[in-house]
Amino acid sequence: MWYMNEERELLRKTFRDYAVKRVRPLGQEMENEEIHAKSREALLEMGKLGMFTLPVAEKFGGTGPDYISWALLLEEIGRESATFGFLTLLRQVFNGPMQAACSPEQIEKFVKPAVNGEILIGLAGNEPAGGNNLFEYQTRAVRDGNDWVINGSKVLVTQADEVDYFMVLALTRDQVDFATMAGIDMFFVPTSDPGFKVGHIEHKVGLNGSRTGSVYFNNCRVPDSCRMPNPMALLMLFGPELSGYAAIALGGAEAMIEKTADYLKNRIQMGHSLWEMHQATRHDLAKLKMDIYNFRNAVYGHMANRNAGIHDTLEAGALKAATGPLLEKVASECMMLMGGTGVIHETGIERYYRDAKALEIACFSDKTFVDNVANSL
């Protein structure tokens, strides 16, 4: 493909070897809640191996922003496990925008250790009442001397009981200024704080390797140095960075096509493979592959633009909105083509079928991105 060169081929191979060796066995195992702690262990390992440094500038502990290499990593991880792809994406989505939002001290204390696999940081934004609507948040942070005291709750939080810190969005004024967003702040809160509690862990349709649940902040106390000076930078950059989700989906879709082709070629009926006997099945799969081919160009075209310094948020949103439907379509049709075998856990296809929907919503529901495009018309 046009975006590959010798160096990137080497990187892809390194990522694939790691994904096959480490992520493949975890992908199925992580479906079982009792062993979820392995995702923390494995993510810290990935950080130590330098896999979270890709889109992060050198002065923040990274290797420089190469979005194509980043997409290659997400694609290879996504081939083996959507859950693990999502957790990998979150690390980088948090690390990247944090560069613009944090103070120099916070870069040293939070960003660099997060980039290098020493700590895990999560985002606690979504609330029971207002969802992602910041203006309806009820979590409050009140100044007390040099500290802030935080009270409130968040729902549908990824890795609710697996991270060392949450970046918590909270109101710091009675009236939020809609134009400047003054009055909404973001704090690093350690999960070791005695006031931090994990609530109910949800049973979800997919992404079951990641524990999604409620978290509570009861009089959590943090120094002012834990308040981000520029939280809006993080919020503005966060959404478009989720375009990395398209690369995870690309990996998953390619893997499903390969598994299905393999199944059809080896499933013998009356002395012939289904592949040989039924042109319709070959064409169904070929059409999916053509969709993926076009999608691949869109994903890597977007990443090449990012490398060239072009950060088109509408393009990122369009990519995000195209991803879910394509992934669902590939998963659904591959399951159909594999017949009864397609619904069995071990094939991994039914897992992708379930993960596709959870992944699509976890990376923010498409409607918000569509709204942005509508507003630009």
Ligand X SMILES: Cc1cc2nc3c(=O)[nH]c(=O)nc-3n(C[C@H](O)[C@H](O)[C@H](O)COP(=O)(O)OP(=O)(O)OC[C@H]3O[C@@H](n4cnc5c(N)ncnc54)[C@H](O)[C@@H]3O)c2cc1C
Return residues touching ligand X (CB under 6 A).
122-126, 131-132, 156-158, 204, 207, 212, 358, 361-362, 364-365, 367-368, 371
Instruction: Measure the CA–CA gap between 353 and 351, rounded to whole angstroms.
Output: 5
In the bound state with ligand X, the residue whose beta carbon lies nearer, of 139 and 172, is 139
Which CB atom, from 219 or from 368, has the smaller least distance to ligand X?
368
> Cβ of residue 181: shortest distance to ligand X, in angstroms?
15
Check if the beta carbon of residue 120 is closer than 8 Å to that of residue 43: yes
How many residues comprise the chain?
377
Quick one: 212 or 260, whose CB is closer to ligand X?
Answer: 212
Compute CA distances 259 → 177, 256, 266, 328, 343, whole Å: 52, 5, 11, 16, 13
Specify the residue, 69 or 95, whose C-beta has the smaller distance to ligand X. 95
In angstroms, give the least distance from the CB of 203 to ligand X.
11
Question: Are 137 and 341 a contacting pair, CB within 8 Å?
Answer: no
Instruction: Tell me the DSSP string of 128-146.
Output: TTTBT-GGG---EEEEETT
Q: CA 284 to CA 288: how far, in whole Å? A: 7
Q: What number of CA atoms fall less than 13 Å from residue 230's CA on the CB side?
A: 15
Helix 313-337, helix 349-362: angle, nearest 10: 160
Which residue's CB comes closest to ligand X?
Answer: 131
161/84 Cα distance (integer angstroms): 16
Rank residues 200 and 367 by Cβ distance to ligand X and give the closer one: 367
Non-local CB neighbours of 330 within 8 Å, separated by 6+ positions: 252, 253, 256, 257, 288, 291, 292
Amino acid letter for position 40:
R
Give the bridge partners for 304, in sequence order.
none
Measured from the CB of residue 157, what is the shortest distance to ligand X in angstroms?
Answer: 5
Min dist CB 158 to ligand X, Å, is 3
Of 79 and 320, nearer to ligand X (C-beta) is 320
Return left, alpha or beta for 111; rule: phi > 0 is left, psi -120 to 50 is alpha, else beta: alpha
Smallest gap from Cβ 76 to ligand X, in A, equals 22
Nearer to ligand X, 178 or 293 (CB): 178
Pick 204 or 267: Cβ nearer ligand X: 204
Least CB distance to ligand X at residue 91 (A): 12
Minimum distance from CB of 166 to ligand X (Å)? Answer: 9
Q: Give the nearest distance from C-beta 85 to ligand X in angstroms.
A: 13
